[in-house]
Amino acid sequence: MKLRSILADIGKSLATAVWFMVLLFPLMVMKVNVARGVAQIQFRWNLLPLVGVGAFVLSYAWRIALEWNERRGANKSEGMSSRIRAAGAAYLARPAVRTSSLLVLLAFVIAFPFLFGMYHTNVMITAFIYVILGLGLNIVVGLGGLLNLGYAAFFGVGAYTYGLIWKYIGPSFVAAGMDPGWLFWISLPLAGIIATLFGILLSLPVLRLRGDYLAIITLAFGEIFRMVMQNSGDLTGGATGISLIPRPWFFGQKLPPTKAATYIYFIAIVLVIITIFVVRRIEDSRVGRALEAMREDEVACEAMGIDLVKNKLITFALGAFWAGIAGVLMAAQTTYINPDSFTLWESIIILMAVVIGGTGSIPGVIGGAILLKLLPEYFRALAQYRMLIYGIAMILVIIFKPDGLIPRKRKQYTFERKEATK
Amino acid sequence: MALLELKDVQTFYGNIQALKGISISVEEGEIVTLIGANGAGKTTTLMSICGITPIRSGQIILKGQEISKLSPNRIVKMGVSQVPEGRRIFPQLTVSENLDMGAFLRTDKEGIRRDMEQVFTIFPRLAERRNQLGGTLSGGEQQMLAISRALMANPHLLLLDEPSLGLAPLVVQNIFEVIQKINKERKTTILLVEQNANMALKIANKGYVMQNGVIKIADTAAHLLENEEVRKAYLGL
Ligand SMILES: Nc1ncnc2c1ncn2[C@@H]1O[C@H](COP(=O)(O)OP(=O)(O)OP(=O)(O)O)[C@@H](O)[C@H]1O
Ligand SMILES: [Mg+2]
């Protein structure tokens, strides 16, 4: 029985290998040399077995991984690794351990800019911006279950709010003898509000849409925003964008770049903490649960008297708000914005951070955002394969950990006998 | 005055007319049942009352007020709640969260807590599973949850759409007893849609037989049980 299934696997992998050899033949084996205007085909036969063996090995490994995954799903509660994991979780759940590890983490986060210098600090700020974005999008996708592919537009609304305020109010602000750094602190809440308004604006046409249609409309919204920013050159600086955006005010001092990065790093941390706090409150509130109910079943929601229109407005508005905040932070960090920072790819990467990390799970989304931002920074050599690696990671996560790397933990799954006998 | 009255209600799905002018009246404290073949328009009737599928013409009058133009949440606020066809519980929410969603429009925390304990006494199986995810409940338990969730709104009028669908005979018996109990003890008026016409007519005061979007027969439940046509078509006798 066992032998037969192994033989079957080998057979299928062989077929895959042959198929790949045929498929890749023109690509890998045939090489066209153009010498003095004459094209010559060179056959590199030695590459053919390489393709075959490679495809065979990969295909076989893939099959084994799939089988392992199935078996793992079948006996989830048993097995050594899950017992170790349960013990680990229990250990971490102990209050003393929890507090001390949180303190260690906090100490590390605070010490980070002083230990690692400006480059790494800036990388971390970007990661934090993505954490805020991820948590915001998580409200829309994770709680509300509404796919939003235009999320980067709200990020852009935030950044452009700050940029435009700087461009139009900045000069008179400076002329009046005020520190332009104040504009950051004015823009921060304002960008949140304006992004929220845009969120509501977008939610109006999509009230009746779900799934694919919603994805397409939000995608279009994102692109329209970018196009408008790109093509209204007089107003927004067009493709060149807006530059020399001031850094946040710091007691009237002009900070050198290193110190400024450290300062923004701490602002980012505070904003991340506020975001986590608020998002958790939303999740535990009745409104949050109504959003989840909407994700589960719209008709049932209506029968319960849950107002879907209001719910969708709330979902988009809340999601957009955090993107607006993140946008201002981004503009302040880079001091330069242009429409290229808010493309569809940006939306997709934020969405990936949510899905890979664990849709609906706050620690998951934080982990996903940091992972997706840090890895490409520290593996620059692989930069050209970035999208390929993201794609493969996505497929692997969807197959092997469909709930994400750190899945959402529901409060309890258990069935309580005790209550019944009482 | 009737608690609920439908006057010549017509409802369309696009170009398809599902309700071709139906009139129903439900008195305070009654159990009224709506029976009919598949596709007759029973679910559509309940959805029209709730405002989920808006009507094209006619009137729906609840407690003397025209409600056909109101949004679903306003109608729920006026004391109508529904156990929709196919249960439609929230699978990723726990049993108690599902119940809390049923009480969404209420703000009296104390009352909600009390009512939750009360539905747990009606369905002790749910009490044991209050922290279990709705989606992991058995079919019968899900139906209990759907009924309990609708009760959490503290309705005057409870609309039930095929509560016996897909349940074992013993569970069906239990569900029907509970429906009667809710009607007697809470004085909740009930509009019950059922395929199980025999049982429905036994607990109802009045019945309507629907066919192809119109009301074919309207009579007391006792008369309908005797009616030759009904016996042949719906009771399988
Ligand atoms: N969303 C919809 N779009 C189009 N037609 C619909 C829709 N829902 C129901 N219909 C049609 O309306 C008619 C009445 O449907 P309804 O669901 O009210 O029947 P029903 O009496 O509840 O049947 P059943 O006993 O099978 O539940 C049917 O012909 C059905 O095909
Ligand atoms: Mg039906």
SS3 state of residue B28: coil
Between the CA of residue A16 and those of A9, A62, A307, A355, B228, what are the distances in Å? 11, 11, 52, 30, 68
CATH number at residue B69: 3.40.50.300
Is B142 a member of any domain? Answer: no
Structure tokens at B206: 């009045």
- Best to test chain A binding among B92, B138, B160 (most A CBs inside 10 Å): B92
Rounded Cα gap, residues B60 and B78, in angstroms: 13
Q: How far is CA A71 from CA A61, A364, B40, in A?
A: 15, 25, 47
**B128 assigned to some structural domain:** no
What are φ and ψ of residue A144, in 5° steps? -80, -20
For the cut 60, the answer to whether the pLDDT of residue A418 exceeds it is no
pLDDT averaged over every residue in chain A: 85
Pick the closest to residue B125 from B164, B95, B99 (CA basis).
B95
Residue B151 resides in a domain: no
Identify the pLDDT of residue A419.
Answer: 43
Q: pLDDT category, A77, cuts 50, 70, 90?
A: low
pLDDT in the model for residue A79 = 55
Say how many domains are in chain B.
1
By CA distance, what is B76's nearest residue in A? A305
pLDDT of residue B46: 95
pLDDT in tens, A142-190: 999 998 999 999 999 999 999 999 988 888 888 887 778 888 999 999 9
Q: Is B173 inside a domain boundary?
A: no
Q: Does residue A299 contact residue B87 with C-beta atoms inside 8 Å?
A: no
Instruction: Determine which helix (DSSP H) or strand (DSSP E) holds A363, and give its type and residue range.
Output: helix A362-378
- Tell me which chain A residue has its CA closest to the CA of residue B151: A304
Q: What is the mean pLDDT of the segment spanning A290-311?
A: 92
The reported pLDDT for the residue numbered A82 is 63
Mention every residue, 6+ apart, whose C-beta is less than 8 A from residue A172.
none
Ligand 1 touching residue B43 (CB < 6 A): yes
B200: domain range? Answer: 1-76+190-237
The rounded percent of chain B whose pLDDT value lies above 70 is: 99
B104 touches chain A (CB under 8 A): yes
Per-residue DSSP letter, A383: G
Report CA Rg, chain B: 17
| ipTM of the predicted assembly exceeds 0.85 | yes
pLDDT surpassing 80 at residue B138: yes
3-state SS, residue B90: coil
Contact status, residue A161 vs residue A327, Cβ threshold 8 Å: yes
Is B228 inside any structural domain?
yes
Find out whether the beta carbon of B9 lies less than 6 Å from any atom of ligand 1. no
Banded model confidence at residue A1, pLDDT cuts 50, 70, 90: low
Residues 263-322 of A with CB under 8 A from B: 286, 289-290, 292-293, 295-297, 299-307
> Which tokens in the block code for residue A240?
């060149």
The tokens for B6 are: 């439908």
CB of B18 within 6 A of ligand 1: the answer is yes
- Determine whether the interchain pair B131/A416 forms a contact, defined as Cβ–Cβ distance below 8 Å: yes
Contacts of A290 in chain B (CB under 8 A): 101, 104
**Residue B216 is assigned to a structural domain of this protein:** yes
Question: Percent of chain A having pLDDT more than 90?
Answer: 36
Quick count: other Cβ atoms within 10 Å of Cβ A275? 23
| Contact residues on chain A for B92, CB-CB shorter than 8 A | 292, 295-296, 410
Give dist(CA A159, CA A132) in Å, integer: 14
pLDDT band at A246 (very low <50, low <70, confident <90, very high): confident
Q: What is the C-alpha separation between A132 and A294, in angstroms, rounded?
A: 23
Query: What is the percent of chain A where pLDDT is above 70?
Result: 93
Most confident of A85-89, A218-222, A322-326, A412-416: A322-326
User: Among A253-262, A266-275, A281-290, B36-45, which stretch is predicted with the lowest mean pLDDT?
Assistant: A253-262
Q: Is the pLDDT of residue A416 over 80?
A: no
What is the DSSP code string of B163-183?
A: TTTT--HHHHHHHHHHHHHHH
* C-alpha span between A263 and A210 (Å, rounded): 42
Distance (Å, whole) CA B26 – CA B45: 13
The residues, ordered by sequence, that sit 6+ positions from A375 with a Cβ below 8 Å of its Cβ are: A389
Residues A211-244: tens digit of each pLDDT: 788 889 999 999 999 999 998 878 888 888 888 7
Please report residues of B whose CB lies closer than 8 A to that of A294: none
Which tens digit of pLDDT belongs to each residue from A102-132?
A: 889 888 988 888 888 888 899 999 999 999 9
Q: Is residue B201 part of a domain?
A: yes
**CA–CA gap between residue A416 and residue B150 (Å, rounded):** 24
Does B49 sit in the ligand 1 pocket, CB within 6 Å?
no
**B108 contacts chain A (CB < 8 A):** no
CB of B41 shorter than 6 A to ligand 1? yes
User: Across all residues in chain B, what is the average pLDDT?
Assistant: 92
Q: Which atom of ligand 1 is nearest to the CA of B195?
A: 25
**Structural domain contains residue B126:** no
Whether pLDDT at B212 is above 70 = yes
Q: How confident is the model at residue A410 (pLDDT cuts 50, 70, 90)?
A: low
